[in-house]
Structure 1
Amino acid sequence: MTQPIPMVEIWRGDLLESQHLGHAVVCDSSGQVVEAWGDDEKVIYPRSSCKMLQALPLVESGAADAFGLTSEQLALSCASHKGAAIHTDRVQVWLNDLGLSVSDFRCGPQKPSDKDAHEALVRAGKQPCQIHNNCSGKHSGFLTLTKHLGAGSEYTQVDHPVQRAARSAFEEMTGEDAEFYGIDGCSAPNFSTSVTGLARAMARMAKPTVKGARAQASERLVNAMRTHPELVAGEGGACTELMRAMNGKVAIKTGAEAVYVAILPEQGLGMALKIADGGTRAAEAAIAGLLVKYGALDANHPMARKRLHGPILNRNGLNTGHMRLSPDFIQL
């Protein structure tokens, strides 16, 4: 079996202190591998990087139109948001429009990662609830589809019609049968695929080769993400900052345990990567490097430099080291 390759290096002074290894694949819209590093057949859980695939049934079933969903709501259905007011206020309106409440969610409560939102809860003496969960937009989409189908309330169960539809779309887009599934942090099932399968799915979203409901759904979801990057993550989030840096030309999405994907409509390419040790800093650097290599991101943009070369500062503000892409991966 092919082993993961060095992708990101951490230097302190003149010593290589740490090294992150991983796998990455770039596919074109025909599903062919354009370039690969490490084990392109490595089977992974894509975690939240596949939310766009999970949202496909929401759109192609007609549920999104039946409930009049906006592009903002479609972006939220693909989001791992920070629980800021711009996210939670919109999720609450969505629930109200469905005639549902926070208790209908099955994602669980989560402390907002947005500092202002967290401090507001503390000052008010309130506890975070399910609406603050970073997946509450995705779950709003699940609830919309549940209501459209007239299905039962336990929509996170693997045999529920919503999850059966999500699995079907996932396997069709990756071109692979999901050998495994695990339960994600938000309690929904997460289906396995190879890194190549995930890149293939992103390429098919970038440039669908067959017209129809799937192609239209893919285009709407990708355009929603590109139009509303602030809803996909939030201020300070890599997805938001890098999409802004690319002027809305590319959609990118992170997943837990250092998975990252990118959808490049102009180039008709899809990218997927997995850092073996689960290090987020390395996943952000690696996806930035791939985006630069394929001409989607300016290497000198501050948001690119932040991920590719960001100095490592200590508590006194002293520059103690730096991060860089491994020469075994990409030489910029």
Structure 2
Amino acid sequence: MSLVLVADDEPAVLEVLSQVVEDLGHDVIQARDGEEAWNLARSRRPSLVVTDHMMPRLSGLDLCRRLKGDELLGRVPIILLSAVLPHGAPEAHAFLHKPFEITDFEALIRQALTEAPRAKPLEGSTAVEALGTWVGKGLEGPLSTARAQVERLRVEGKADGGALETLGAQLETLESMKRDIQEAAYLAARTVTLSPVMVDLGELLRHSLETWKQGRPGVKWTLEASASAVELRLDLERMRRVVDALLGHAGRHGGEVRVELESTPSLVTVRVKDAGPGVSDEELRHLFEPFRVEGSGSGLGLYIASELTRLHGGGLSVESKRGQGTTFSVILPRG
């Protein structure tokens, strides 16, 4: 079984091509334009790329050229489909002129995957990325089974309620660690691709604070932000991870956690302040390093937050003194 990337801007054609590939026993990832295909290829490393030529944002021919010029993707075979290119392109492994017979398409898929070069031994960033994928797939089965068993015991009433609550909390910790290890591995391998959309950052902060209020009611959570929208192009889920990492760190010691949102025409700043014991100068030097031993969890949260902020074109900094609390500042560009 191989992973095949199929790109076409016509939804009906995309579904037909994908179904053919799946019927041959392979996994499919879909792209609806050339730019999306390029980003998916870099993050998922398919064994074969099938692409139409006439697509928005990036044509199939330009996609071929980008793939061929990439150090890691340059040896991936490409099947180029087109109704306007009479003879294809030298950058493509194979070419089919539209319309074509499905049997011809199937034959090219088999041939291209048979002739595809074998993967190089894992090393460097490739090995790190593979580790993240292995962790995710390897732990999902046992975690899923454990969740199901805990739920069964809860429904049947055959276990102590306190014990079940403890087991549930430990499962949540393990699932969080799994996600953190995967994300950290992909960040280290430089294969994370953001999916930015317009986000009201104030609304994101309000929603996150409500969640933390329910999870840690002993902490006083406050937000100082304008009622008007502060809109930015952000990867919503990943920026939520940044915010949660900072709120989780700030709320560890109880007391009050204050979040401030400031906006100028060029920059947006989010500050997360706590009144905890503060961080020593030595700890500050290593605060954003991965795999720090820090209570429960993976010790990856602040590293991930820092790297995700950087990918958004911004920066994450920290100020702290012993006995005077800690302030994290996320600075993001507008536009």
TM-score relative to the length of structure 1: 0.23
Higher helix share: 2
TM-score, normalised relative to structure 2: 0.23
Looking at both structures, which has the greater relative contact order when contacts are Cα pairs under 8 Å and sequence separation is at least 6? Answer: 1
